[in-house]
Structure 1
Amino acid sequence: MGTPRTLMAVALLALPISAAAAGAAEPWREEPAVAALFREAGVDGTFVLLDERRSELRGHNRSRAEQRFSPASTFKIANALIGLSLGAVRSVDELIPYTGDANPFMREWLQPMGLRGAMKVSNVPLYQELARRIGLQRMGKAIGRLHYGNEQIGTNVTTFWLRGPLAISAIEQSRFLSALAHRFLPFPRKAQEQVAEITRVDAGPGWSLHAKTGWQNAPGPGVGWWVGWVQKGDQITPFALNIAMAGAADAPKRERLGRSSLQALGILPGPPRGPVLAP
């Protein structure tokens, strides 16, 4: 998938490095058009995309792009991959019963569903059940193999991606997603293909968009994420956005700003779509 030069660039950009050096090895291009979008929205945040053909990072607010935050529900991507790879579920459509609180954040979570449906509605309790099935020891080893963020999961297998200690930067998100999109991760290719499939949220002639929201401390103040990649033929463009969230009114800004940034850089066609309120 891609030319040898592109694949070499991808491999170099995907190398794990420390938080202090995050992004230091790659050229960074600050994009005025993206910075203007953040100013107009009155949002404190960052957007970064990994330009694999130029072997550089492009976006807004490099210092924040290097800063690690809780991944929140963006970790569902890695959680699904680990669960499928280790046999915690047989497929993305295997029904998992609801085991959470009687009054969840979203009523849609109450019904049994598979990883496909749970990804779409960002079903936190279902992915917590998946994490229980994986177990703390196997989860820790898998996250280490992925070099996911700071690789720290603590002692609670159902909350480490929501309340810490796991943390990841926007640049590290883009590297992880690049490796997933190219099927370079050290897990079965079939599992990577299934996760790529259930993260696809939009498509058009010659392109597809894979993405996931996240909201640390939902529904209160915290960090909001929108991460993923755009695929056009053999060209893959991973990206990650995070913003400071004051509350529910900021939830739609994640995808709206992300799409607008991708459009401003010529990666994604068309106008922004409607709001996304999922955590």
Structure 2
Amino acid sequence: MPLVPAPFITRTPRAARRRTFLSQSGCGLLAALGATRFADAAAPVAHVEERPDLATHFKEAGVRGTWVVLDSATAKLTVVDRRRADKLYSPASTFKIPNSLIALETGAVKDIDEILPYGGGTYKRKEWERDMNLRDAIRVSHLPIYRGVARRIGLARMNEWIAKLHYGNETLGTEVDQFWVNDKLQISAAEQVRFLMRLAQRSLPMSMRAQDMVHEITRLEKTPTHALHGKTGWYESPGFSLGWWVGWVAQANGSVQSFALNIDMHGEADVAKRIPLGRKLLAQMNVLAA
């Protein structure tokens, strides 16, 4: 039977806790999984497995990065580049996952079919130049619409929910429509898989309705054996570019593997490497078919 996190339990305030998710071993790692208990008291102790063999895929792609997978059935964390897996980065467009959750939970957006305004203007990405619902907006990573969604939520409610979700460093700054792309909010790959596992198993401190709808809009494929959910992200600052692909695979047998990839990117060619690289890693781990 897959391990399922118990309901949300309040953690120590962020200023008083150490951010050492992967540096903890044994039972400490279980505590780090969002400070939740696992429902199955007989569950094996979580452990971290480093997989240097998986690093060959990064070399073949010509990129540097990290890879983290959390398995619900074993509570095992599989890691490429353990140090980097704990390093904080801007979530970029992967934040569209919690942004959607919070918008739906607070009623800032009625449902995933409500048509949302993009606000006018011209963009490099021409698909952004129209109004659309969350189903389509997350698929094309529509930044103007999601900035508008964040403004609807408001800074006070956003701060409240980011704290409830224990998302990353829980720091937003003063600009409600900028914090996930301006380095105020940061999250590590190890923290991404923790958050996504809770969403995958619908154990976040939110309604089932909101979580179900976000499951629906993040689903990339569904087969008789699995459902794949995911979201890319691309962060750029002067002299630095980072790519994300995060998500989870829900298996037909009930187990879940949440994953997070981030890579350094040095041009447009690297942008297209994120999902194929992640799929190769999932295939080598027998999470997805090759």
TM-score after normalising by structure 1 = 0.89
Structure 1 residue 202: deviation in Å? 1.5
| SS of the residue 1:229 aligns to | strand
Does the 8 Å CA contact 1:19/1:66 hold for their aligned counterparts? no
Counterpart in 1 of 2:263? 243
Residue in 1 aligned with 2:148? 129
Shift of 1:144: 0.3
CA shift, 1:169, in A, is: 0.3
Alpha-carbon contact 1:208-1:232 (below 8 Å) kept = yes
CA contact (8 A) 2:7 2:204 kept: no
Structure 2 gap segments, 5+ residues each: 30-46
The 5 Å alignment of 1:158-169 reads 158-169=177-188
Amino acid at match of 1:69: Y
Q: How far, CA to CA, are the matches of 1:250 and 1:218 in structure 2?
A: 16
TM-score, normalised via structure 2 length: 0.86
2:59 to 39, 50, 53: 39
Partner in structure 1 of residue 94 of structure 2: 74
Name the count of aligned residue pairs. Answer: 263
Identity, % of aligned positions: 46
Task: Assess if the C-alpha contact under 8 Å between 2:71 and 2:255 holds in 1.
Answer: no
Asked if 1 retains the 8 angstrom alpha-carbon contact of 2:7 and 2:205, the reply is: no
Output the CA distance in 2 between the equivalents of 1:203 and 1:194: 16
1:203 aligned residue: 222
* Matched residue SS, 1:38: helix
CA-based RMSD of the aligned residues comes to 2.0
Deviations 1:113-145 (A, max 9, x none): 011100000000000000000000110001000
Q: Distance in 1 between matches of 2:109 and 2:279?
A: 32
Stretches of 4+ aligned residues off by more than 6 angstroms: none
Give the aligned partner of residue 59 of structure 1.
79
Contact 2:168 2:191 in 1 (8 A): yes
Question: Which of 4, 7, 12 pairs up with 2:4?
Answer: 7
Query: C-alpha displacement at 1:164, in angstroms?
Result: 2.1
Once residues 19 and 73 of structure 1 are traced to their aligned partners in structure 2, the CA distance between those partners, rounded to angstroms, is: 26
Could you tell me which residue of structure 1 aligns to residue 33 of structure 2? none
Label 1:126 to 1:218 Cα distance change in 2 as closer, same or farther (>3 A).
farther
Structure 1 CA distance, aligned partners of 2:238 and 2:119?
20
- Report the CA distance between 1:59 and its aligned residue: 2.4
The alpha carbon displacement at 1:165 in A equals 0.5
1:20 corresponds in structure 2 to 19
Change (3 A) 1:218 1:199: farther
